[in-house]
Structure 1
Amino acid sequence: MFAGDVESSVGEVLATSRSATHAFSKQMVDSIQLVAGLGVEGDAHMGKTVKHRSRVAQDPTQPNTRQVHLIHAELLDELHTAGFQVAPGQMGENITTRTAI
């Protein structure tokens, strides 16, 4: 959903996750600390330069434009309908959100 799609919407954070290693999934935690210009404290992707292995291999000095990963729970709902059981954090996101209109 884009800002122009509805006059107003309210969202909520359903889950927060982080991982100190470059694992595909992240463990859910009670809270995360966002550090300006760096990302999620304690997460493998935190930093001013890229942390994704493929991007590091291309040029390790690239700016880190993917410091905090968000996924909307509506995507998890769609996957569930398609027969997949995917929980918050299992797709590598730091924050799982849901939009309520």
Structure 2
Amino acid sequence: MSADTAEGTVTTVSSNGSYSFTKPNRDSIMLLAGLGVEGDVHAGVTVKHRSRVAKDPTVPNLRQVHLIHAELFDDVAGAGFEVTPGDLGENVTTRGIDLLGLPTGTRLHLGAEAVVEVTGLRNPCAQIDAFCHGLLKQVLGRDENGQVVRKAGIMSVVLAGGEVRPGDPIRVELPAEPHRPLEMV
């Protein structure tokens, strides 16, 4: 199966209207084109993450929707950490797609209508260790060449709005080649 036909599943959706590291799970979320998750503190045309707003509040928001692969939770459980959907602040938890291996510009069709475009990798921060001491080392490491490996999910912008629910299918649409690897956003 090629990535153009790869399908995964939405396992959980989460949002929070106030600044908090974790996000409560919901029955559904509504994605709004050009903004993000309706009612979520990180929704907006310009950056909403506090550290980024402090630097320059006029920068475009490339972090409207945060996705994490449920397989990450399986991996960290093997190291003794209990992490569940929403705990790391993601909006959409997926299963069955190698999110970290997608190129920049990949479109993910979530459910019947919603489409997000992958903008880059989430940069794991110290808040992860504040949530659970030692977890940061599980989601931020180095490969055999000494290059930093970020495993805490990907960020995206909403191209087409729509409701997203647990159990919804995800269809991957790769961008035209040459593909650009994900970088931190």
Q: Same fold (TM over 0.5)?
A: yes
Give the SS at the match of 1:71. Answer: strand
Q: How big is the shift at 1:89?
A: 0.4
* Code of the aligned partner of 1:42: G
Tell me the number of residue pairs that the alignment of Structure 1 and Structure 2 aligns: 95
Indicate whether 1:75 and 2:37 are aligned: no
Aligned to 2:33: 36
Q: 1:18 aligns with which of 11, 15, 27?
A: 15
Aligned to 1:59: 56
Q: How big is the shift at 1:62?
A: 0.5
Q: Structure 1-normalised TM-score? A: 0.90
Give the SS at the match of 1:55. Answer: helix
Q: Structure 2-normalised TM-score? A: 0.50
* Code of the aligned partner of 1:81: G
* Code of the aligned partner of 1:48: V
Unaligned stretches of 5+ in structure 1? 1-5
Aligned to 1:89: 86
Alpha-carbon RMSD across the aligned residues, in angstroms, is: 1.1
Unaligned stretches of 5+ in structure 2? 98-185
Q: How big is the shift at 1:22?
A: 1.2
Identity %: 59
Give distance in 2, aligned partners of 1:63 and 1:38.
10
